[in-house]
Amino acid sequence: MIGITVGMVLFQYLISPYIIGWLYKIDWIPYEQFAMSYPHLANSLDKVVSLNGIKVPRLGIIHDGNPNAFTFGHTKNNARVVITDGILKYLNEKEQNAVFAHELGHVVHSDFILMTIVFAIPLVLLTIARWAYYASFFSRSSRRDSDEASAITAALIVIAALSYISYYVGYLISLIVSRIREYYADEHSAEVLEDPNALSTGLVKIAYGLLVDGQVDERKKSKVRALRGLGIFDPSAAKGLGIMSVGAQGKFSQDAIQAAAAWDLFNPWAKYYQAFSTHPLPAKRIMRLNEQCATYGLTPEIDFSLAKELKEKQAGKSMADEFLGDIFIKSLPTLIFIALLAITIVWVFALAGFYTIGFLTAQNILLLWAIGFYVIGFGSILKTKFMYKSGFEPKTVLDLVTNVKVSPIRTVPAVVEGQIVGRGIPGYYFSEDMYFQDHTGLMYIDYRFGIGIVDLIFSLSKVKRLVGQRVRIKGWYRRGPSPYIQVDTIESESGARHRNYAKHMRYIWVFFEFLLGVLFLYLWFQAII
């Protein structure tokens, strides 16, 4: 089984570049054409190739206004580096170079191979855990001496438990390694340009967005997307956006940047998502780049010194109470179910004669489950009401992204008006999500319905038509780890209206929970008759 697991990892490693090339609409460009069209990027490429003695990567463009970049391949001599039109259009040449050099950093560091090995180790441990767990069942039913079978079963269960714990720890370690590789790629970018600030300002535009005071050329409005693939390509990347202000002199408004970054720095949810992310949060990366500025005799352009003060104005000194409240609401139905399960297990052991608890009878357990499922149902309603609040008000991207208190559970009901500028994942044929722009910035739009076939139909038949249209979107603003709006309704200038029933689907589960309550209540009545 371990051999099969390793074989599957190697097989995936071999075919994944071809799968990515098939799933994403990439326009591959010969080096000569690339050098002619983008000489500043070609200069950086030539420098990296010469210093590291690697082959020129295959170069691709995705024609989407969502600024993004990623790299994939087998080895440093078989790499593909892809950028989008958004990178070329909304970042200045130095920032383009910084993002491009970051991707080349993954190439020269052989991160394709390294991260394949790092993530394969937990999979092997998980395979051992599953093998030992299922083998323990066969051991119990074997014809061996009962003492011998019991010893083997116990040993297999211990192996399964230790292997699973090792898998989980190994997985967390692999995420740490991935985040470290991102920092190394950032350092490579700074070394190539001899300026960490270029990637810092590029990250602000890509990860937080761009706002320009007064009248502005549309071409200078940042269209933002932070796919995890500012680094190793990750098709499951979550949402990305932000906001930043540029004054008439072209200088950044630090208040806007710091308000947007305060969530990364101080919201407890940020720490949670950081632990389970392949990439460091943007503010962490910028802080690390700022530390490198001294090496090049430069002053950091992005300053977070007032971020804490801005956060405290909104949320006070601590957000622990709100975080714990979010966790409680999120886990409420599950907690009730676990409590019911625990009481039932206690009853089973009492039934087996380990001890006696008078009130734990079969009839009472049935009644408890009947009441419990009603409580779970009401808990689910409370959770849905909290996560999908009413009271929609007109908002801008700037209003939303500078809200430090928002979370995946604690939402802001909002109505935004602007334009759909691209797919949520640029170039990906099956992306049902979109990217939205208003006059203050850009935001990821999460249309995910929750039923695969519905999402697929929407991605293939609706998204392409919506790109480029002005829209009015009603939905719930969330952040986890990056900002996004979960759609309730999209109204387009063509008159089409697209409704998302993800909220309503939650009430279907409530119906089944109440139905189970009725079933257990019926069984209880039968038991006492």
Q: State what percent of residues in the chain have pLDDT above 70.
A: 88
**Is the Cα torsion angle 518, 523, 528, 529 positive or negative in sign?**
positive
Mean pLDDT of the 130-139 span: 80
Selection from 228, 205, 202 nearest residue 70 by Cα = 228
What six digits make up the tokens of 122?
Answer: 């937990």
Compute the distance between CA of residue 404 and CA of residue 415 in angstroms, rounded to an integer. 19
- Cα 280 from Cα 178, distance rounded (Å): 9
Instruction: Say if residue 116's pLDDT is above 70.
Output: yes
Is residue 169 domain-resident? no
pLDDT of res. 139: 65
Q: H or E stretch including 485?
A: strand 483-492
Report if residue 282 sits inside a domain: yes
- The angle formed by the CA atoms of residues 333, 339 and 343, to the nearest 5 degrees, is 150
Q: What is the pLDDT of residue 145?
A: 59
Residues 97 and 66: beta-carbon distance below 8 Å: no
Res 240: pLDDT: 32
Residue 356 phi/psi, 5° resolution? Answer: -125, 125
In the block, residue with structure tokens 């995946």: 408
Q: At a CB cut-off of 8 Å and minimum separation 6, what does 476 contact? A: 387, 388, 389, 411, 412, 413, 414, 485, 486, 488
Q: Would 498 be classed as within a structural domain?
A: yes
Q: What angle do CA 240, 242, 243 make, to 5 degrees?
A: 165
Q: Give the per-residue pLDDT at 219.
A: 34
pLDDT level of residue 435 (50, 70, 90 thresholds):
confident
Among candidate residues 313, 343, 372, the one where a domain is terminated: 313
Last residue of a domain, one of 313, 332, 365: 313
| 44-85 pLDDT tens trace | 999 999 999 999 999 999 998 888 899 999 999 999 999 999
**What's the pLDDT score for residue 410?**
94
253 and 383 both lie in a single domain = no
Over 70: is that where the pLDDT of 217 sits? Answer: no
Residues 298 and 371 in one domain: no
Task: Give pLDDT tens digits for 258-295.
Answer: 888 999 999 999 999 999 999 999 999 999 999 999 99
Quote the tokens at residue 317.
């000194």
Of 258, 257, 275, 239, the closest CA to residue 433 belongs to 239
CA 391 vs CA 54, 161, 388, 449: distances in Å: 57, 48, 10, 22
Helix 93-108 and helix 196-208, axial crossing angle in degrees, nearest 10: 100
If one counts the domains in the chain, the total is 2
Residues 347 and 277 both lie in one domain:
no
Q: How many helices (H) and strands (E) does the chain have?
A: 18, 14
Mean pLDDT score, 308-336: 91
Residue 399 lies in a domain: yes
User: Is the residue at 421 inside a domain?
Assistant: yes
Same structural domain for residues 374 and 396?
yes
What is the pLDDT at residue 224?
30
Domain match, 344 and 222 both: no
DSSP letter at 212 equals E
Question: Of 298, 313, 328, which residue sits at a domain end?
Answer: 313
Place of tokens 């409370």: 382
432 and 339 share a domain?
yes
Residue 85 sits in which domain range? 2-111+180-313
CA dihedral in degrees (255, 259, 264, 270; nearest 10)? Answer: 170
Active site residue 103: yes
Q: pTM for the full model? A: 0.83
Q: How far is CA 244 from the centre of its chain?
A: 21
Of 240-254, 274-288, 459-473, least confident by mean pLDDT is 240-254
Q: Given the residues 103, 182, 187, 513, select the one marked as catalytic.
A: 103
| 433 in the same domain as 415 | yes
- Do 439 and 501 lie in a common domain? yes
Q: What is the side-by-side order of every strand in the sheet holding 58-62? A: 27-29, 58-62, 79-84, 69-73
Q: Do the Cβ atoms of 232 and 119 come closer than 8 Å?
A: no
Distances (CA, A) of 54 to 31, 41, 65, 95, 182: 14, 17, 30, 23, 20
Specify the pLDDT at position 360: 74
Mean confidence (pLDDT) of the chain:
85
Tokens of 121: 């180790």
Higher pLDDT, 243 or 280: 280
Q: Mark whether 324 and 240 lie in a shared domain.
A: no
pLDDT at 333: 93
Q: Can you tell me the mean pLDDT for 104-127?
A: 92
Strand ranges across the sheet with 245-246: 211-212, 245-246, 252-253
Q: Which residues, 6+ apart, have CB-to-CB distance to 222 below 8 Å? A: 67, 90, 205, 206, 209, 210, 244, 441, 442
CA distance 448 to 438: 21
Return the SS3 of 397: helix
Is 216 a domain residue?
Answer: yes
- Chain Cα centroid distance, residue 352: 46
Write down the pLDDT at residue 220.
33
**Per-residue pLDDT, 230:** 35
Check which CATH number belongs to the domain holding 369 and give it. Answer: 2.40.50.200
Written as one string, the DSSP assignment of 427-483 is TBTT---EEEE-SS-EEEEE---S-HHHHHHHHHHTHHHHTT-EEEEEEEEEESSSE
Query: Do 358 and 305 reside in the same domain of the chain?
Result: no
Domain-embedded: residue 20: yes
- Residues 8-34 have a mean pLDDT of 91
Q: Are residues 308 and 452 in the same domain?
A: no
What DSSP element (H or E) covers 82? strand 79-84
Same domain, 288 and 335: no
Residue 12, phi-psi category: left (phi > 0), alpha (psi -120 to 50), beta (remainder): alpha
Give the highest mean pLDDT range of 167-171, 208-212, 342-346, 480-484: 167-171
Model confidence at 115: pLDDT above 50: yes
Does 355 reside within a domain? yes
User: Which backbone phi and psi does 354 adopt, to 5 degrees?
Assistant: -70, -30
- In order of 255, 388, 426, 434, 482, the CA distances from 478 in angstroms are 21, 10, 21, 15, 8
CA distance 312 to 404: 9
Q: For residues 295-309, give the mean pLDDT.
A: 91
Q: How confident is the model at residue 221 (pLDDT cuts 50, 70, 90)?
A: very low
